[in-house]
Amino acid sequence: MSNSGLLQIVRGACGHDCPDTCAWIAETQDGVAVRLYGDPDHPFTRGVLCAKVNHYLERVYHPDRLLYPLRRCGPKGSGQFQRISWDAALQEISARWRRDISEYGAESILPFSSAGNQGLIQHSSLDQRLFSLLGVSRLERNICGAVAHEGLCATQGSGVGVNPEDLVHSRYIVLWGTNTMVTNLHLWPVVEEARRRGAKIVVVDPIRTRTAAAADWHIAVRPGSDTALALAMMHVIIREGRIDHDYVSRYATGFEQLSERVSQYAPESVTEVTGVSAADIEKFALEYSGVGPSLLRPLIGLEHHRNGAMMFRVLACLPVLTGAWRHRGGGLARSTGAFQYSMLNMEGLLQLGLSQRFARSLNMRDLGRDLCSTALSPQIRSLLVYNSNPAVSLPNQHLVRAGLEREDLFTVVHDLFVTETAKFADLVLPATSQLEHLDLVPSWGHHYVSLNQPAIEPSGESVANTELFRRLARALNRDEPCLYESDEELLRTALQTDHPMMRGITFDRLRQCGWLHLNHEEDWRPFAAGGFPTSSGRAELWSGKLQSVGLDPLPSAGEIRRGAPGTLQLISGKTLHFLNTGYSHQEPHRRREGVLQIEMHRDDLESRGLCDGEFVRVCSSLGEIVAVCRSSRSVQRGVVWMPFGGGQDALGVSRHVNNLTPEEPTDWGGGSGFYDTFVEVLRATAIVSE
C-alpha cells in the first residue's frame, strides 16, 4: 500500500445524543485509528472531549464490540447467540416480514429507534423511506425534547432561542433544571466567561448537582413545582412594575389575563409547594428582572414530569414580560436542534410522500404496553430496534421486558454492543461506530453544522444504519432507486436548501473544513423585534390554540405530582461516564460509575433506621431494585437521586431505575414523566427475611 505507515488525519463530529456535537480529529495509520482528540480550532467545543469520547477508541476496538450478525440459540433474554452470515440474517428477516405483512398487515411490524446516533442520515433517511413504502407502523419519537419543544412553542411559536455562544453577553444566567457541567459541558466555559464579565449564575434544581454547587446561587426547588415558582416570579415582576410594557404591547397577547392569573400566585402562597421561601422568590424575581441581559437555560430535565410541557410554556413567558429578548444574551436558550433541522431539505431527505396509505403511529413510551397488548390490532409481530436500548431506557421496564419475552415476537436489534435489548433479540446485527460512517451532524447545543467523515473501514462486518436499510430493501426485492442512494447523495440532498442561514454551507466546503457556523450576523437576536412565529404573530401569554384543544389557555402550575405519605420522589438523571445507556456495556466506564447508589437525605435515612453504605431495596408500585444507600447533602428531604443509564442494580441483576418509573404521559407533547416516580426505601435484609 502506498500510504503504508503514513499518519493520516480525518475530521469528524460526535453523533452521540448530546447537545455538544464535538468536533474531533482522528489520526489513522495503516487503516487503524491510533488517536482521537478534540479539534482545538472549534470555537465552541475547543478541543475538549467528554469523559466518554476521550476513550472512544476503546469503544471502537473493544473486545465485546459486535462484529458479526448473531442468531439467538438460547431462551429470550439469555444472551446466547451464534454467528451467522449477513445473507442468512437478511433472508430470515425478509421471510418473516413478508409473512407478517401478508398474514397480519404491514402495521404488525414496528421499527423502534431513538437518537443513539443523532447524525442526520444515520438517525433518519433511508429507514423512513423504506418504512413509508412498506406501510409499517410508525413511531412517535418523543421521549426526549418533544415535550419541552411543544411547551416552548405554545408560548413563542417555535423553539428558537438565544445562540448559546451569546451567553457571554448575559449578566444573569439561570440554569433551570439542567446539569450543564455533566450533560452539556462545553456550555460551562461560556457560562464561566459570562461570570468573569460580571454575570451571576443561578441554578434551579431539586438536587445539588455539580453544576448547582458551582453556581453563585442554588435554588433547591421541590420537584415539579417550577411552574409555581415561575408564576410567583411573574407575580412579583408585575407587582413591582418590572414589565417592559412597550415590548409586551407590541409582541405579546393576553397580558391582562396573565396578570389576573398570577395575582393568585403571591410568593407566600407557593412556598410550601416549591420549598422556596417567599423572601428568596422575591429576591430571585427582582434580580432576574433587574439585572440584564437575563437568560434562562432549561434543557430536558424539566420535561420528565407530568406537567413537563407546562414547565417550558411558563418559563417562556418570563423573558417576554421583561423584554429580555431585546438584548444580546437576553431571552431563553434551549435546544438549537429544531432550528438547525428547519434549514435542511428534510422533505427531500425523508420523502414522506412515499407513503401509499395511512399507517398508525405508536408512542415509544408505550412500547411495553403495546407489545403486551391483546387489544392492539394488528398486534406487533416484528420489532426492529436501532439507535436505542428500550429495555433500559423506557419507563416500566418490567412491562417492556415482558413484551420482549413474547415467544411469537420476532425481534431484530442493530447496535454496537449486545445491549439488554439485544439479549432479547432473535437476530442481532452489528453497527458501525462514528469513526466508520459518513454523516452530517446538526447540533442541538450550538450554531455549527458539522460533517462526520469516516476515518477507518467498518470493523468486522458492521454496517451503518443507512447500509442496513439498503440491504433490507434489497432483501425485500424493492426496486425504487430512492432506497439505494449513497450516503453522500443523501447528504447532498439534505443540503439542497435556500435557507439564508445555510448559504455557503455545502457538502464540499464541509468536507474541507469539517464544520461551519450558520450564516447569521454576529449579533443575532431572534425575538428582539418583529414578533413571534405563532398564529397571532405574538408571544401567546394567553393561547387560543391551547384553548381550542381543551387545555388551559393561560400558564398555570399544571399537575404537580406528590407521592403517598412516606414515599420519596426519585429523580434519575444522566451520568458523567455513560451516554444514556451507552458505554454501560464497557469496562472501565462501568467501574468509573461504580455500584448503583441511591442518594438520600440524612433524615430520610435515619427515619427508616438505615445506615450510610448499606444495601437497600428501592420499591415503587411497579417494581423494585437493590442499591447502596448514601447519606447525601445533595438531596433535600423527601427526594432521592439515582443515576440513569446503567443496566444493573447493586446486586448485579439486570434491572435498573426504569424498573420503578411509570409510563405515565406528560401533560402534552407525548413524553414520559420519568421523574414523577415515588419510592419506598427499605433495608434489604429486613425484606429478605420476611
Ligand X SMILES: Nc1nc2c(c(=O)[nH]1)N[C@H]1C(S)=C(S)[C@@H](COP(=O)(O)OP(=O)(O)OC[C@H]3O[C@@H](n4cnc5c(=O)[nH]c(N)nc54)[C@H](O)[C@@H]3O)O[C@H]1N2
Site for Mo ion in 120-149 (CB under 5 A): 144
Name the residue nearer to ligand X (CB basis): 178 or 443. Answer: 178
CA distance 663 to 672: 6
Cell of 254: 393576553
CA distance 41 to 513: 11
Distances from the Cα of 488 to the Cα of 209, 467, 677, angstroms? 42, 12, 45
Beta strands 624-631; 615-619: pairing state: antiparallel
Beta strands 138-140; 361-363: pairing state: parallel
Task: Say what the alpha-carbon torsion angle 217, 221, 225, 231 is, to the nearest 10 degrees.
Answer: -30
Fill in the per-residue mask, 270 to 289: x = in contact with ligand X (CB under 6 A), - = not in contact.
--------------------
Largest CA distance in the chain: 76
Fill in the per-residue mask, 632 to 651: x = in contact with ligand X (CB under 6 A), - = not in contact.
------------xx------
How near is the Cβ of 647 to Mo ion at its closest, in Å?
A: 17
Binding status of residue 580 toward ligand X by CB under 6 A: yes
- The neighbouring-strand residues paired with 384 are 111, 412
Site for ligand X in 211-240 (CB under 6 A): 221, 223-224, 226
> Among 386, 410, 532, 668, which residue sits at the site for ligand X (rule: CB under 6 A)?
386
Name the residue nearer to Mo ion (CB basis): 134 or 338. Answer: 338
CA distance 490 to 509: 16
Binding status of residue 179 toward ligand X by CB under 6 A: yes
Site for ligand X in 426-465 (CB under 6 A): 431, 465
Binding status of residue 323 toward ligand X by CB under 6 A: no
CA distance 13 to 510: 11
DSSP percent split of the chain into helix, strand, coil, nearest 5: 35, 20, 45
Binding status of residue 573 toward ligand X by CB under 6 A: yes
Residue appearing with cell numbers 468536533: 23
CA distance 582 to 645: 7
Distances from the Cα of 562 to the Cα of 143, 273, 306, angstroms? 22, 10, 11
How near is the Cβ of 447 to ligand X at its closest, in Å?
A: 18
> Among 575, 620, 634, 648, which residue sits at the site for ligand X (rule: CB under 6 A)?
575
How near is the Cβ of 230 to ligand X at its closest, in Å?
A: 10
CA distance 33 to 106: 42
Binding status of residue 45 toward ligand X by CB under 6 A: no
Binding status of residue 419 toward ligand X by CB under 6 A: yes
Q: Which one of the spans 174-182, 447-455, 478-486, 630-638 is the region binding ligand X (CB under 6 A)?
A: 174-182
Q: Which one of the spans 295-303, 504-512, 542-550, 607-615 is the region binding ligand X (CB under 6 A)?
A: 295-303
161, 332 in Cβ contact below 8 A?
Answer: yes
Binding status of residue 115 toward ligand X by CB under 6 A: yes
Binding status of residue 572 toward ligand X by CB under 6 A: yes
| Residue type for position 587 | E
Binding status of residue 675 toward ligand X by CB under 6 A: yes
Name the residue nearer to ligand X (CB basis): 11 or 334. Answer: 334
What DSSP designation does 202 have?
E
Binding status of residue 171 toward ligand X by CB under 6 A: no
Q: Which residues bind Mo ion (CB under 5 A)?
A: 144
Q: Which residues bind ligand X (CB under 6 A)?
A: 17-18, 114-117, 122, 143-144, 176-179, 182-184, 204-207, 209, 221, 223-224, 226, 299-302, 305, 386-390, 392-393, 414-417, 419, 431, 465, 571-576, 578-582, 644-645, 657-658, 661, 674-675
